[in-house]
């Protein structure tokens, strides 16, 4: 560096000292602002050369980089042994801190995979979120967990693999799956290791996209069983063949040259926003596709956007790395990316930018889909934003608020004839549910179905904790003020909504006044007429049923009801089953717990056969017979659980 950093209004003496001590080693660097917030995370072959280049006078930097350098007040670095290790560290830090000036994968979720460990004595199929280098086979990714469960349900009809843990091995009785021909029951040695391994290999072949090969093997086995007069085995194989053909008919068959590969392309919006579309091909068949939005891509070249996406999508273990990536354009730093992908895959990986032929057509198709995805997301976002802004603006005017209620908290109670009373709190921010901040409450001080007292307890507990946490934050702050709070109980809502009428509202307000939180605007929404009640106002506010503001309040109220009711049903179901089982001779606490874990509900226990019940851990045949006799003969239990209003 020819001269030290010198920027108006910024004390760069400490920064200059750090720049002078930068090592000429590979690593990762972090830029921070004066408040200590991480602004940017980058990697470098030489930390000294790369970081100092940001501050060299006269260097032509992009506008976004100039804005970054203008606010950098501090830096730190992490030395690594290689550039590939620097890529991995950079990726983890970007995901953790999501710096403002980095290109960031917006939807950084972990996609579900199917895991099959053929080295296990009795392999089973598992849903996992992160593939690991453990020697097992991973299949996917799938777009969502529902697709995985649907796939597993279909596969169980064809490949009767076990779904239990190793602790069931050696049990005297099989579970229900054996009796309905959905498991070979290695737990009771109903199959041999060789026969089970053959079935597991067929399952792996099918998941590899070689369904036709599996079909041929099953047909040969069925013919062999028929010729040997093993008609029961032949009938089971016939049923498996029919199920397999049904599954195969649902597969999408679109060729991309065979083998496992992903095809990626970038789309850009009019304001620089970026999206990447990815198509997953397994054994040449289109297995799925996903679109991803990226933040921080404005002013960055497509090559840089593509590199950032590949690094974050594959480098963090969230997606399986195929043998080949088909890319629309050459990424920046392809050598480092290839080395990173090879490390993640533990095998060879090839980055290709096809110029002609079928693979180029595939990439162009992916690009068109990326453009459509970005356009659809932009339209949906604009429509949603306009609708939310209209609703919040209307509520601010109608309810007399100081501004649009960006954060809304809604409370609802749930009980059945006073039993198992619970309450729920849901949070909406900018018109959207913030599920990470939902809270469930068990009622502590109220007996019976006193809805007013329950609301007072729950609201009082919530805001008493808020008052306590905010005092602690203020005491720990030099100026004695409460610092900005991102979430949790210390963050206060702009609007509190109570499910109910005047009675619930008055008790909620009394609880808030008791802890000094009476300034928070609070209203009640009564479901019968959808009227909005205000404290100390004789007449309710009546909005048209088409009002955007009313619809937003209704969504929050209905979500609180759904969330609380689900919690109540969960507690009620557990209590009901435990209560019934307490009356059965020979069924103690351990057996009750094991039965609940195995079957989940009283109806499932009642409908199970003798062998399935006897196979539960801790049970035996005599206890299972007595349990079934009791459940099927006792009035009120034999007909199933009684319904009741919520």
Decide if pLDDT at 260 tops 70: yes
Tell me if 54 sits within 8 A of 19, measured CB to CB: no
Strand locations in 296-376, DSSP E?
Answer: 324-327, 350-352
Say which CATH architecture domain 407-552 belongs to. Answer: 2-Layer Sandwich (3.30)
Q: Tokens 């809270």 belong to which residue?
A: 439
- Of 79, 86, 78, 72, nearest in space to 16 by CA: 72
Average pLDDT, the chain: 80
CATH 3.30.420 for domain 261-376, yes or no, is: yes
Average pLDDT value for residue range 257-264 = 77
Distance between CA atoms of 427 and 494, rounded to whole angstroms? 11
The CATH code belonging to domain 13-102 is 3.40.1440.10
| pLDDT tens profile 168-184 | 677 778 887 787 777 88
Local structure of 119: helix, strand or coil? coil
pLDDT digits (tens, 9 = 90+) for 30-72: 998 888 889 999 988 899 889 988 887 656 677 778 888 888 8
Neighbours of 302 (CB within 10 A): 19
**Entry pTM:** 0.44
pLDDT at 644: 31
Range of 250-254, 447-451, 562-566 with top mean pLDDT: 562-566
Task: Give CA–CA dist 100/92, Å, rounded.
Answer: 15
pLDDT (average), residues 355-359: 85
Specify the pLDDT at position 256: 42
Positive or negative, the Cα torsion across 429, 434, 437, 439?
Answer: positive
Dist CA 471 CA 383 (whole Å): 40
Task: In whole angstroms, give the CA distance from residue 498 to residue 421.
Answer: 17
479 has which bridge partners? Answer: none
Contacts of residue 292, Cβ cutoff 8 Å, sequence gap at least 6:
105, 106, 107, 275, 276, 277, 278, 309, 313
Tally Cβ neighbours within 10 Å of residue 58. Answer: 5
Q: Does 261-376 match 568-633 in CATH topology?
A: no
How many Å apart are CA 423 and CA 444, to the nearest integer? Answer: 11
Higher pLDDT, 51 or 289: 51
Rounded mean pLDDT, 501-527: 95
Confidence band of 646 (pLDDT split at 50, 70, 90): very low
Assess whether pLDDT exceeds 80 at residue 210: no
* Domain segments of the chain as ranges: 13-102, 113-208, 261-376, 407-552, 568-633
Q: Which two tokens stand for residue 250?
A: 């649902």
Q: What is the pLDDT of residue 91?
A: 78
Show Cβ contacts of residue 88 under 8 Å, excluding neighbours closer than 6 positions: 315, 340, 343
Task: Give 534's pLDDT tier (boundaries 50, 70, 90).
Answer: very high
Q: Which element (helix H / strand E) includes 477?
A: none
Beta bridge partners of 440: 424
Distance, first Cα to last Cα, the chain: 72
Q: Which whole number is the average pLDDT over 470-489?
A: 82
**Do the beta carbons of residue 262 and residue 278 sit within 8 Å?**
yes
In this prediction, residue 378 carries a pLDDT of 77
The tokens describing 148, both together, are 């995985």
Residue 131 has pLDDT above 80, yes or no: no
Residue 4 has pLDDT above 70, yes or no: no
What topology is assigned to 568-633 in CATH?
DNA polymerase; domain 1 (1.10.150)
pLDDT at 574: 55
CA atoms of 234 and 227, how far apart (whole Å): 9
What pLDDT score does 592 carry?
A: 79
In this prediction, residue 254 has a pLDDT band, given cuts at 50, 70 and 90, of: very low
Long-range contacts of 479-488 (CB under 8 A, 24+ apart): 487/434, 487/436, 487/437, 488/437
Closest Cα partner for 218 from 201, 203, 197, 240?
240
597-618 pLDDT tens trace: 777 666 678 777 787 888 888 8
Contacts of 644 (CB under 8 A, 6+ apart): 416, 417
CA distance 227 to 245: 23
Cβ distance 400 to 494 under 8 Å?
A: no
The pLDDT-based confidence of 250 (bands split at 50, 70, 90) is very low
For residue 391, CA distances in Å to 6, 328, 407, 528, 550 come to: 48, 42, 13, 21, 8
What is the predicted pLDDT for the residue at 346?
77
């Amino acid at each position: 560096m020819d001269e030290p950093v010198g920027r108006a209004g910024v004390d760069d003496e400490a920064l200059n000292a750090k720049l002078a001590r930068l090592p000429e080693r590979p690593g990762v660097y972090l830029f921070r602002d004066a408040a200590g917030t991480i602004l940017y995370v980058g990697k470098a072959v030489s930390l000294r050369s790369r970081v100092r280049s940001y501050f060299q006078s006269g260097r032509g930097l992009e506008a976004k980089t100039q804005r970054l350098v203008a606010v950098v007040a501090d830096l730190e670095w992490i030395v690594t042994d290689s550039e590939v290790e620097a890529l991995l560290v950079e990726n983890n830090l970007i995901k953790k801190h999501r710096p403002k000036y980095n290109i960031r994968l917006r939807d950084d979720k972990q996609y579900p995979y199917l895991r099959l460990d053929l080295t296990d004595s009795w392999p089973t199929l598992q849903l996992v979120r992160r593939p690991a280098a453990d020697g097992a086979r991973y299949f996917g990714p799938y777009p969502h967990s529902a697709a995985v469960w649907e796939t597993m349900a279909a596969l169980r009809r064809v490949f009767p693999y076990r779904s239990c843990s190793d602790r069931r091995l050696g049990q005297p009785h099989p579970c229900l799956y054996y009796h309905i021909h959905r498991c070979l029951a290695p737990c009771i040695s109903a199959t041999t290791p060789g026969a089970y391994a053959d079935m597991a290999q067929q399952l792996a072949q099918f998941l590899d996209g070689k369904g036709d090969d599996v079909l041929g093997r099953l047909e040969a086995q069925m013919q062999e069983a028929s010729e040997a007069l093993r008609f029961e085995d032949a009938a089971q194989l016939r049923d498996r063949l029919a199920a397999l053909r049904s599954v195969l008919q649902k597969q999408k068959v679109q060729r991309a040259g065979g083998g496992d590969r992903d095809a990626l392309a970038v789309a850009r919006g009019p304001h620089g926003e970026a999206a990447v579309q990815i198509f997953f091909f397994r054994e040449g068949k289109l297995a799925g596709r996903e679109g991803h939005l990226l933040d921080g891509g404005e002013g960055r070249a497509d090559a840089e956007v593509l590199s950032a996406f590949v690094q974050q999508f594959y480098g963090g273990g969230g997606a399986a790395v195929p043998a080949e990536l088909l890319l629309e354009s050459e990424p920046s730093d392809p050598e480092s990316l290839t080395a990173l992908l090879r490390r993640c895959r533990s095998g060879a990986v090839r980055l290709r930018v096809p110029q002609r032929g079928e693979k180029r057509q595939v990439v162009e198709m992916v690009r068109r889909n990326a453009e459509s995805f970005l356009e659809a997301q932009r339209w949906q976002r604009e429509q949603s934003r306009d609708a939310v802004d209209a609703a919040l603006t209307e509520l601010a005017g109608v309810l007399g608020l100081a501004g649009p209620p960006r954060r809304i908290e809604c409370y609802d109670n749930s009980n059945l004839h006073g039993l198992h009373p619970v309450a729920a709190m849901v949070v909406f921010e900018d018109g959207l549910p913030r599920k990470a901040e939902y809270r469930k409450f068990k009622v502590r001080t109220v007996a019976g179905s006193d809805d007013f007292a329950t609301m007072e307890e729950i609201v009082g507990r919530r805001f008493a904790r808020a008052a306590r946490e905010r005092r602690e934050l203020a005491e720990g702050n030099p100026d004695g003020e409460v610092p900005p709070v991102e979430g949790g109980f210390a963050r206060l809502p702009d609007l509190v909504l109570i499910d109910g009428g005047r009675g619930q509202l008055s008790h909620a307000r009394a609880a808030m006044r008791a802890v000094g939180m009476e300034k928070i605007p609070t209203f009640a929404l009564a479901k019968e007429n959808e009227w909005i009640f205000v404290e100390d106002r004789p007449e309710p506010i009546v909005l048209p049923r088409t009002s955007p503001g009313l619809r937003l309040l209704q969504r929050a109220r209905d979500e609180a009801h759904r969330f609380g009711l689900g919690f109540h049903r969960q507690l009620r179901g557990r209590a009901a089953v435990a209560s019934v089982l307490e009356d059965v001779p020979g069924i103690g606490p351990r057996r009750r717990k094991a039965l609940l874990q195995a079957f989940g509900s009283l109806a499932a226990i009642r409908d199970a056969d003798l062998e399935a019940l006897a196979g539960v851990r801790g049970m035996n045949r005599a206890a299972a017979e007595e349990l079934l006799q009791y459940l099927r003969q006792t009035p009120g239990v034999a007909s199933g659980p009684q319904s009741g209003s919520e």
